[in-house]
Amino acid sequence: MTSHNQELFDQSQKLIPGGVNSPVRAFKSVGGTPLFFKRGKGAYVWDADDKQYIDYVNSWGPMIVGHCHPEVVKAVQAAAAEGLGFGAPTAAELEIAETLCKILPSLEMVRLVSSGTEATMTAIRLARGFTGRSRIIKFEGCYHGHSDGLLVKAGSGALTFGQPSSSGVPAEIAALTTVLDYNDAAGLEKAFAEYGNEIAAVIVEPVAGNMNLILPKREFLDAMRKLCTKHGAVLILDEVMSGFRVGLQGAHGHYGIKPDLITLGKVMGGGLPAAAFGGRRDIMQCLAPLGAVYQAGTLSGNPVAVAAGLTTLKLVQALGFYDRLTQLAKQMTEGLTAVAKKHGIPFSAQSIGSMFGLYFSATAPTSYAEVMASDKAAFNRFFHAMLAEGVYLAPSAFEAGFVSAAHSDADIAATIAAADKVFAAWK
Ligand code: HOZ
């Protein structure tokens, strides 16, 4: 019997490049046919063939309270009934700005946009406008959306396809992006010593989630803060993925590092397109209409997306919310590590808050080079075997995974049991 996923994929490829609207969804890295989803509820998603999966992709991060949380759905329906969009300010935008600034004290001012790409792209422009400098520093394997200057040695889908730097980015633009090694404080020190007065911004994922999960070293974070302050560069912490995931105050709250600007998306939109950037008042005041740095968007602050985001942000502030997620993710990574060890498979796993990384290497990687050295073929095999067991992991060895508040202890236990079965048949 033909699978409906296959039929849909065959048809989609005739009209949509690669059959998908975002490359990493195409299963190119792991091989096979992408799943077409028709429904999600709580911790589960159902594909076009009605097969149920425990979902650890969580729409690539946003669904921290699970799919179709009744309060989020109710708020979205209520907002939609009042108007789908006005292209004008609303009281709800003020409310979400107040909520974001209250939760994240580093936000003195905030601007809403519709996607993480917009947030990072504009934060870079703002840093350049503020400093009057052009050069930016990013780190290999970090992904900050798909604007030209940031698609240089990037992670996520770009890395998945072995083309971390995109064709179509003019060399003149790429030349303004200096790429350094993640977690290499000495490399950063050297770059600042050489051309510190040219650097407008350092942009970084303070917990890297687009080359699998890589945790930052303390000295790396401290060096970034110290050097940006010393040389007058803007430190942009890209928390599109880690924000409200690592903990309520994101990675910068967890590690106690003060950013100049942060970018947010995913969780803060509750599954709908809402994102933001913000930070120091003196920098944010350079934005139009106050200042000369331009940014605009018809869908910015869209009331339906804001309703989903506000409700999600209300839910994540519940007492013990992140303790529970942290515990669940730990249960999962420890359980998977134990079953792999039992079957003698070189495997490691780690988590921070509700984000986790799984690696087919004996120890958890701390750099891009170490991630690249892990056994990708083993991951791909594991991915498909787990899929057959009803567990949906990210279809790439270069993406972090996520647990949500909808996952139960039983879901985690079922996932570990599935991995036990998969590893038992591994030889
Ligand atoms: N950039 C996302 C992964 N880190 C993928 C987005 C998508 O395909 O939906």
pLDDT of residue 161: 59
pLDDT of residue 153: 80
Walk across the sheet containing 109-113 and list its strands: 109-113, 275-279, 261-264, 234-238, 199-204, 135-139, 177-180
What residue numbers bound the domain in which 29 lies? 4-64+319-424
Query: What residues does ligand 1 touch, defined as CB less than 6 Å away?
Result: 22, 24-25, 60, 156, 210, 399
Same-domain status, 134 and 283: yes
Rounded distance, CA 244 to CA 313, Å?
Answer: 8
Query: How far away, in angstroms, is 291 Cα from ligand 1 center?
Result: 32
CATH number for 338: 3.90.1150.10
Residue 241 CA, closest ligand 1 atom number: 4
Same-domain status, 264 and 335: no
Q: Closest residue (by CA) to atom 9 of ligand 1?
A: 22
Among 253, 282, 315, the domain-final residue is 315
Same-domain status, 133 and 251: yes
Same-domain status, 229 and 349: no
Residue 145 CA, closest ligand 1 atom number: 1
Same-domain status, 25 and 44: yes
pLDDT of residue 154: 77
Probe ligand 1: pick from 16, 20, 22, max atoms within 8 Å of CB?
22
Among 290, 315, 340, the domain-final residue is 315
Same-domain status, 284 and 155: yes
pLDDT of residue 158: 66
Sites in the chain below the pLDDT cut of 50: none
- The label of the residue with tokens 């420890």 reads 334
Query: How far away, in angstroms, is 62 Cα from ligand 1 center?
Result: 11
Closest to 316 measured CA to CA, from 253, 235, 391, 392 = 253
pLDDT of residue 39: 98
The residues annotated as belonging to the active site are 143, 238, 266
Task: Express each pLDDT in 357-397 by its tens digit.
Answer: 999 999 999 999 999 999 999 999 999 999 999 999 999 99
pLDDT of residue 181: 95
Whether residue 238 contacts residue 155, with contact meaning beta carbons closer than 8 Å, is answered with no
DSSP one-letter code for 287 = B
Q: Closest residue (by CA) to atom 2 of ligand 1?
A: 60
Give backbone dihedrals phi and psi of 192, rounded to 5 degrees, phi first.
Answer: -65, -35
Number of H helices, E strands in the chain: 15, 14
Task: Express each pLDDT in 240-265 by its tens digit.
Answer: 999 999 999 999 999 999 999 999 99
Alpha helices in 104-204 (DSSP H): 116-131, 157-160, 171-174, 185-195
Same-domain status, 122 and 45: no
CATH number for 90: 3.40.640.10
